[in-house]
Amino acid sequence: MKQVIIITGAGKGIGKAIALEFAQAAVKQKGFDPILILASRTVSDLESVAAECRSCGAVADIFQVDIADTAQIERLVSTTLERYGTIDCLVNNAGVGRFKPLAELTEDDFDYTMSINLKGTFFLTQRVFSVMEEKRSGHIFFITSIAAETAFKSSSIYCMSKFGQKGLVEAMRLYAKSCNVRITNVMPGAVYTPMWGEVPETIKSVMMMPEDISLPVVNAYFMPERTSVEELVLRPICGDINE
C-alpha cells in the first residue's frame, strides 16, 4: 500500500537514518510502498539521501524548506497533497540547538531555536493534522529529546524548546485520539550526529548512533493501527553523558 511519509531534517543525522530505515522497510515488508518526502534547507544533503532511498526501491521526493517560515510549510504540504493526494505520516525531526553557558546565550540564539523547534514544529503539525483529521488516520512522530524532561546546564534555550515540544505532544494527543491519529513522542539521549560537531573519541564511543533511533521509530509505525506507541525513551547504556 502506498504510504506518504514526510520527514523533516531528512538530510542529516537522525532524520536521514529514519528515511533510510523506511526505505529499507520497502524491501523487507511485503506490500509497504513508501513515498518519502524528504525536507530540509540543504538540497545537496537531500539529493544524496534520496538517491540512497531510491536504491532500495522507495519513491523519494525532496523539498527544500525552512520550517521557520510558515509560507514554506504551506508550500511543502500543498505540493505534497497535489502530487500524492494524502499524507499518512509526519516525522517532526528538524531541530537545532546552540549549546552554551547561560550568560553567553543571545537573543539571536533564542529566536533561532524557538523559530525552528517550536514555531516550525507547531505550524507544520497543525497543517498536517488537519489533513489526517479529515481522513481519520495518520501517525505523527515528534523527535523531542530527553531534554524535554531533564535540564542540562549548557542547554537552557534548547531545553525550553524541547519542554515546549512536549507540551505540543500532549495537546495533540487530546485531538488525535478522537480521529484515529497516532502520536509518538521519541525522546533520545545523546546520539552521534552533525548536531554535536567535533566530539572527542571517548565521548563518541559511548553515544548512540542514528540507526538506534530510526529502527524503533519505524517499528512503532508498523504496529497494528489499533495500537499507539506513545513514547520511546532511548538512552546510551551508560546514561546521560552531559549535565
Positions that interact with ligand NAP (CB under 6 A)? 8-9, 11-15, 40-42, 45, 65-68, 93-97, 116, 120, 143, 145, 188, 190-191, 193-195
Least separation, in Å, of the C-beta of 16 and ligand NAP? 7
Q: Which is nearer to ligand NAP, 32 or 152 (CB)?
A: 152
Least separation, in Å, of the C-beta of 96 and ligand NAP? 5
Burial class (CB in 10 A: 0-12, 13-18, 19+), 62: buried
Q: Which is nearer to ligand NAP, 27 or 209 (CB)?
A: 209
Helices and strands of the chain, counted as H and E runs:
8, 7
Least separation, in Å, of the C-beta of 213 and ligand NAP? 8
Q: Helix, strand, coil shares of the chain as percentages rounded to 5? A: 50, 20, 30
* Contacting residues for 97 by C-beta, under 8 A, at least 6 apart: 113, 155, 158, 195
Q: Which is nearer to ligand NAP, 65 or 172 (CB)?
A: 65
Q: Which is nearer to ligand NAP, 11 or 34 (CB)?
A: 11
* Beta-bridge partners for 191: 208
Least separation, in Å, of the C-beta of 175 and ligand NAP? 22
Which grid cell sits at 127?
497543517
